[in-house]
Amino acid sequence: MKNQLARVKRLMSRYGIGKGRHLGLDAYLAQGHDLGQLHLGCGNIHLPGWCNVDVINTGATDLVLDIRSLPGLPRGRAERIYSCHVLEHFSHDEIPGILASWHEVLKSGGEIRLSVPDLDAITRIYQANLEHFNVPGHQPWIALIYGGQKDEYDFHKTGFNFCWLKYLLEQAGFSSVERYPNEPHFVPGVIDNSIGKERFGEYFSLNVVARKRG
């Protein structure tokens, strides 16, 4: 029974059922909510205890905001940022400015965790499974490489490997840039793309943690 309840809660979290408040920033702050932990580009994933932010109202969204510049959010206050399979949705030119604004909202010593499609892993897995991708009707991993393309925000515009993402984070002022393991998820019970290994049984996400210099 306990296990079933946990499973239902995980599924509700996965599909963003029931938790979202869909507020604008003023209403969110007026209600005294905490901006200490920011889940940016949350999509349908509601992280309990976090401020779940997306440009689209989903069942999981606490705050509807453009995360590229986080307009109106206090600077130097957040303790943690988490963003999963979102950064690749912005153009190569936009990324430094976006990382700079995420750096600004964090307090000194604050933590950022990013999960993005790992081009090194994806190309390796692709080459190891060429037969699968050469069956008529099988897509050549379009969603993972080019985005799900369900709406205007759901297109991939750039790509990453660890070396490149580390460089970008350091340029934006972050330090102690390291990979962190795909599993277990650092928020217990959460299922998102950072732990995904669907179809070929190998992780396809690059998970990176870094800190704003103290």
Ligand X SMILES: C[S@@+](CC[C@H](N)C(=O)[O-])C[C@H]1O[C@@H](n2cnc3c(N)ncnc32)[C@H](O)[C@@H]1O
User: Where on the chain is the footprint of ligand X (CB under 6 A)?
Assistant: 41-43, 45, 54-56, 66-68, 84-86, 89, 153, 192-193
156 or 212: CB nearest ligand X: 156
Residue nearest to ligand X (CB): 43
Measured torsion, CA atoms of residues 143, 147, 148, 149, in degrees rounded to the nearest 10: -130
2 or 150: CB nearest ligand X: 150
Contact 112, 70 (CB under 8 A): no
59 or 173: CB nearest ligand X: 59
The H or E element containing residue 170 is helix 162-171
**Least spacing, CB of residue 102 vs ligand X, in Å:** 12
Token reading at 38: 């920011």
**Least spacing, CB of residue 193 vs ligand X, in Å:** 4
**Least spacing, CB of residue 115 vs ligand X, in Å:** 7
128 or 142: CB nearest ligand X: 142
Residues 6 or more apart whose CB falls under 8 angstroms from that of 201 comprise: none
DSSP code of residue 89: G
- Rounded CA-CA distance 202/137 in Å is 22
**Least spacing, CB of residue 14 vs ligand X, in Å:** 8
